[in-house]
Amino acid sequence: MSCVRDLLAESTLLGGDEARREAEVLLCAALNKPRSYLMAWPEAEVAETLVQRYRDWLLQRSQGVPVAYLLGARDFWTLSLQVNESTLIPRPDTELLIEQALALNLSDSATVLDLGTGSGAIALALASERPRWRIVAVERSTKALEVAIANAKQLGLERVRWLSGNWFSGLDERFALIVSNPPYIAEHDAHLDTGDLRFEPRAALVSGVDGLDDIRKIVSQAPQHLEPEGQLLLEHGFEQGSAVRALLTATGFLNVASYQDLAGHERVSGGSWPGMVR
């Protein structure tokens, strides 16, 4: 039999600064116990089936598979979301988009559109904070959409309307707010061959030569789907702020601004649409 302390010592298989922390996360998940259990009971013996599950995860993690895919879950905002290989793993960066959306002075019953919802992270975080907002979420990947719908059910946030589609196609309504964390990585960006990105769906990440193809489409089509004074908020790469502001301004958006994450990087930009022109 192996004990907790010996199993955690196997974290050396992972290497790197995060090895010990990740091994603790995996062992907690295998045992279905909190981290305090590992600290309190280092000599506790672990059943062989659980040891096998933990070692299997450790091996896959050593080969790069993201912890979120191994556990099938990732925390985002205040929610625990199911994820799998069909969905992007929601990032803390995207919480900046949620903060900015919630800071807008929208009515209690505002209509909101989340484009490229993936696991449903943005739509569900907003639904959890603003239960009366009428939220529509669009996703092109039917497998990702299944995960989003399962998350809504599990979290009891079933008021979100889920649509399978290509950005605005088939949508004929207008919204007070459109939010999106679209694909925005340039197709030859070397980061695509590193870390979790290697395992995530390319269609969730890559957007043309400069990473801006999808943002260009969304910015150009958004005016036809915004109410007067409607707001558009987009997440983007940390070096894309000025390009996204330029696109918004050239399209006719007003009050164009970018918002910084805690590291001081511009990660979200947006603006308001003056009226029902076009």
Q: Using CB under 6 A as the criterion, which residues of the chain lie in contact with ligand SAM when the complex forms?
A: 88, 90, 94, 116-119, 121-122, 138-141, 144, 166-167, 181-183, 203-204, 214
Rounded to a whole number of angstroms, the minimum distance from the CB of residue 32 to ligand SAM is: 26
Alpha helices in 136-276 (DSSP H): 142-155, 202-205, 213-221, 241-251
Nearer to ligand SAM, 139 or 266 (CB): 139
Q: Which is nearer to ligand SAM, 19 or 125 (CB)?
A: 125
Q: Output the residue with the shortest Cβ distance to ligand SAM.
A: 116
Q: Which is nearer to ligand SAM, 31 or 144 (CB)?
A: 144
To ligand SAM, the closest distance from the beta carbon of 201 in angstroms equals 6
Measured from the CB atom, the residue of 23 and 179 that comes closer to ligand SAM is 179
Nearest distance, CB of residue 163 and ligand SAM, angstroms: 9
CA atoms of 23 and 36, how far apart (whole Å) = 14
Which run of H or of E encompasses 103? helix 95-103
As measured in angstroms, the least distance from the Cβ of 125 to ligand SAM is 9
Residue-by-residue DSSP string for 195-238:
GGGGGS-HHHHB-SSSS-HHHHHHHHHGGGGEEEEEEEEEE--T
Nearer to ligand SAM, 51 or 121 (CB): 121
The alpha carbons of the chain give a radius of gyration, in whole angstroms, of: 21
Query: Cβ of residue 198: shortest distance to ligand SAM, in angstroms?
Result: 15
Residue among 183, 205, 180, 209 nearest 194 (CA): 205
The encoded tokens of residue 211 equal 């990473």
Instruction: Identify which of residues 147 and 256 has a Cβ nearer to ligand SAM in the complex.
Output: 147
Q: Cβ of residue 138: shortest distance to ligand SAM, in angstroms?
A: 5
First to last CA, the chain: 70
Assign residue 77 a region (left: φ > 0; alpha: ψ between -120 and 50; beta: otherwise).
left
